[in-house]
Amino acid sequence: MRGTRVAGVFAWEAFDSRGRPTVGCRVRLAGGAQGRAIVPSGASTGSHEAVELRDRDDRFGGFGVSNAVRNLNDVLAPAVVGMDAVDRAGVDAVMEELDGTAGLGRLGANSVLALSVAVTVAGANGLGRPLWQVLDSGEEPLLPLPMVNVVSGGAHAGRALDIQDVLAVPVGAGSFAQSMEWAWRARAGSAELLDAAGGNSALVADEGGLAGGLATNEAALALVTEGISRAGLVPGEQVALAIDVAANQIFDGTTYQLRSEGRALPSDGWLLELAGWCERYPVVSLEDVLAEDDWAGWRDAGILMDGGRQLVGDDLFATQLDRLRRGIADDVANAVLVKPNQAGTITRAEDVLRAAQGAGYATIVSARSGDTEDSWLADLAVGWRAGQIKVGSTTRSERTAKWNRLLEIEATAGSRAQFAGSDALTNRRPGLPTRRLDQTP
């Protein structure tokens, strides 16, 4: 289509939500439509992710991205001008070939992703259709079950806790809007309890979660469980818990270090610790429970899936197709976190998500700790019918931008909208059973 051909590309150095430089990109189509993207960046990053290009000079403490921006403007842009933005897979393939490395580190995965997303958004705008619908081609959007950050530690909160996040999962909600209201109530109840115990709910982490004021890791689970009850909701029935361990951050090569508690546990002892938490609290999902290359340990971690519990690979899979295929072959985990910037292009991320769904793995589209005001991630979660999304807390505008976009999609679709609900956790097959919004949970 002539009107959807790329007519111009421009990139610049922008900021993410942590105040670090990142790559912004704008794509203009021949018909006048545009697409814009400012890409995210993680703090708790795995070694198998696509490779960001940083300047490593005196600017911004070495975190500048002027070289990545230059590569986008001078190398990538001329190669895609004239291509049809609707053929986003073709555009991504050209950029991969230009880079020539598996991790896209020569030109920078941050520059490649910025153009990949901007082209995808521009293509949808050129067709005059919502991005989610271009990805799904359906008339009934499937809204994902949200995981909402309540308490943070690890790399997201200055190591206030060893584990990275405790999240609220509104498993009993009947719509996305209701799920967000319940998650808001759970966070508010937890904040009130934290303040009453001498903490400070005004202190928040990278993703808007409560940070500080807790003596142990388990205390975070207790706080959120009690916060759910304080909010007038039933723990486990209406709102359950998810844990993001981010075990790479606590593994010293031999043991798992709970430095805030002065303890060190071997792999089997750490798994038993987690199993105990699952017995005492309404945990439905655990993420990155062991280090990224501890494949043998991850097979042992299957004990944590008892009762239909979700065992999620983030750093383990790093949104890389070869690592996911190994996990499938070895029967490791049963869910995968999908982060576009781990993959480097929208096409690569979608390939991982489709392979996971085809193998019966649950899929969770995820933001990063250093995210931006963009909302395209929400459309990806709906358009890919991922079933779940993990964005952060109910505070900070880079988080609420995604929640607000999902609320808009649901409200616009009205009775045609579907909500994945708790089925996203328990039914790991493509075409999730869903409830319509006029049905009660």
Contact predicate 360/336, CB 8 Å: no
Contact predicate 373/399, CB 8 Å: no
Q: Residue 426 is encoded by which pair of tokens?
A: 């328990």
Q: Is 402 noted as a catalytic residue in this protein?
A: no
Rounded CA-CA distance 128/215 in Å is 52
Q: Residue 335 is encoded by which pair of tokens?
A: 């869910």
Rounded CA-CA distance 11/24 in Å is 5
Residues 6+ apart with CB under 8 A from 233: 182, 185, 186, 239
Rounded CA-CA distance 353/376 in Å is 16
> What is the DSSP track for 244-280?
E--GGGTB-SSSEEETTTTEEE-HHHHHHHHHHHHHH
Cα–chain-centroid distance for residue 3?
Answer: 33
CA distances for 172 relative to 102, 167, 255, 413, angstroms: 42, 15, 37, 21
Contact predicate 104/348, CB 8 Å: no
Contact predicate 299/330, CB 8 Å: yes
Q: Which of 325, 335, 399, 396 is nearest to 367 (CA)?
A: 399
Catalytic option among 49, 339, 402, 410: 339
Contact predicate 211/203, CB 8 Å: yes
Catalytic option among 207, 292, 350, 398: 207
Q: Which of 369, 428, 418 is nearest to 41 (CA)?
A: 369
Rounded CA-CA distance 358/325 in Å is 11
Place of tokens 């808001």: 184
Catalytic residue numbers, as ranges: 207, 339
